[in-house]
Amino acid sequence: MDNRKLTVTSPLLPPLEEIIPYLEQIWESRWITNGGQFHQQLETALAQYLGVEYLSLFTNGTLPLITALQALHITGEVITTPYSFVATSHAIWWNGLKPIFVDIDPVTGCMDPDKIEAAITPQTSAIMPVHVYGTPCNTERIQEIAVRYGLKVIYDAAHAFGVQKAGKSILLEGDMSTLSFHATKTYNTLEGGAIICHSAEMKQKIDYLKNFGFEDEVTVMEPGINSKMDEVRAAYGLLNLKYVDSAISRRKEIARQYVKGLKGVEGIALYQPIVDSFESDDLKHNYSYFPIFVDAGRYGMTRDDLYAKMKAQGIMGRRYFYPLITAFTPYRDFPSAAKENIPVAERISDSVICLPMHHELSDVDVYRVINCIIL
């Protein structure tokens, strides 16, 4: 048996002979940040790859969320989901706004549109849904509600790099979408992120906001912060973009292997959107994650027991997302965080394990994960 420790935290490294020329150019130019050549090239290349027109790079994936709220002058309350990484609600808090939590769809894990209207108050100004595990939200329903009540929509698309629905990038939905290029993502720049907007005027405003608000040396247009991507990460991103299609293709094959190996296992439920994606002409998935859901009564072991078993065998699964955002100290006393308000999110959070998913996993690695679960 192969006893190598499985991990999903190491990014795919481009060949050293490809990295060195980029570093040499940065060294020779002496331009290491503030919108250098690689920054400009990566913005253009990503916009083209993703099928969007206006994309602004950031130094990580949290600052785009914070800046999007700033750029749209969001006030008061923002309806969001408890089933996400905590950066989603932290961005709301950092803007002096109040997150209002609504429950999630039991199949996709994304925000349940049927729960939104009851959460709207006179203080509500925006909705911030999350495309969970790369699966698109019900963007049509969310947009209908937003238009009816005059609300902005900002999608946290941290998991949704390259995802398309009906041949169109999911990043074109809503007023803005944000991406994360953290090292654990399908595509990464080590750390990084982006905002996708829909006009040149808004992109200019965002670019001011991420650079202290400067228009030129003596003019500040907005009360901005420093969230620019440097040249080293931009160069790394250009290199990684060459490999992202093969990475997604390999992730898809790993997902197929997981489905084949785990389908029908008593007490283990698969994430249906991924199962359905293999035969779908409508959805182009990116296979960012592969969640399973453990029914302790039928499986004979709790989720946490299985998680511990995997860990003991060097298999680093992740209970993602657990705990819910609403369980954390800053948010747990909010009325909308009450467990009776979010029963689906509570149930899914208590049963989920995301299996190792990375394009460098071998077939032996994948079969070892499967065997750990079924034996």
Output the domain CATH number for residue 280.
Answer: 3.90.1150.10
Confidence (pLDDT) at 10: 39
Name the more confident of 81 and 4: 81
22 and 78 both lie in a single domain? yes
54 plus 182 within the same structural domain: yes
* The pLDDT of residue 13 is above 80: no
Q: What is the mean pLDDT of residues 293-299?
A: 98
73 falls within a domain: yes
Q: Which residue, of 180, 215, 241, is where some domain finishes?
A: 241
pLDDT computed for residue 20 by the predictor: 80
The total number of structural domains in the chain stands at: 2
Give the pLDDT confidence score for residue 151 in this predicted structure.
98
27 and 169 assigned to the same domain: yes
Whether residue 59 is contained in a domain is answered as yes
Q: Which domain holds residue 49?
A: 16-241
Read off the DSSP letter of residue 329. T
pLDDT at 8 over 60: no
70 lies in the same domain as 59: yes
Backbone angles phi, psi at 211, to 5 degrees: -130, 50
Specify if 6 maps to a domain.
Answer: no
> Cα separation of 234 and 250, whole Å?
24
User: Mean of the pLDDT values across residues 144-157?
Assistant: 98
pLDDT at 146: 98
CATH, residue 231: 3.40.640.10
CA distances to 91, 142, 315, 336, 373 from 365, rounded to whole Å, are 36, 39, 9, 41, 13
Mean pLDDT of 62-91: 98
- The residue out of 208, 241, 274 marking a domain boundary is 241
Look at residue 21 in the predicted model and tell me its pLDDT.
85
Q: Which tokens go with 185?
A: 């993502």
Residue 2 included in any domain: no
Neighbours of 4 (CB within 10 A): 11
Strands of the sheet with 268-270, listed across from one edge:
268-270, 290-294, 352-355
Q: How confident is the model at residue 2 (pLDDT cuts 50, 70, 90)?
A: very low
Q: Which DSSP category does 15 fall into?
A: P
Cα distance between residue 249 and residue 118, in whole Å: 41
The pLDDT score that the predictor gives to residue 17 is 79
Same domain, 157 and 113: yes
Check whether residue 179 and residue 254 sit in a common domain: no
111 & 27 share domain? yes
pLDDT digits (tens, 9 = 90+) for 237-288: 999 999 999 999 999 999 999 999 999 999 999 999 999 999 999 999 999 9
CA-to-CA distance for 336 and 68, rounded, in angstroms? Answer: 23
Contacts of 360 (CB under 8 A, 6+ apart): 10, 12
Give pLDDT, residue 271.
Answer: 98
Around 348, how many Cα atoms within 13 Å sit in the side-chain half-sphere?
25
> How high is the mean pLDDT of the chain?
94
> pTM value?
0.94
**Domain for residue 144, yes or no?**
yes
Of the three residues 212, 241, 270, the one that is the final residue of a domain is 241
Q: Are 57 and 194 in contact (CB under 8 A)?
A: yes
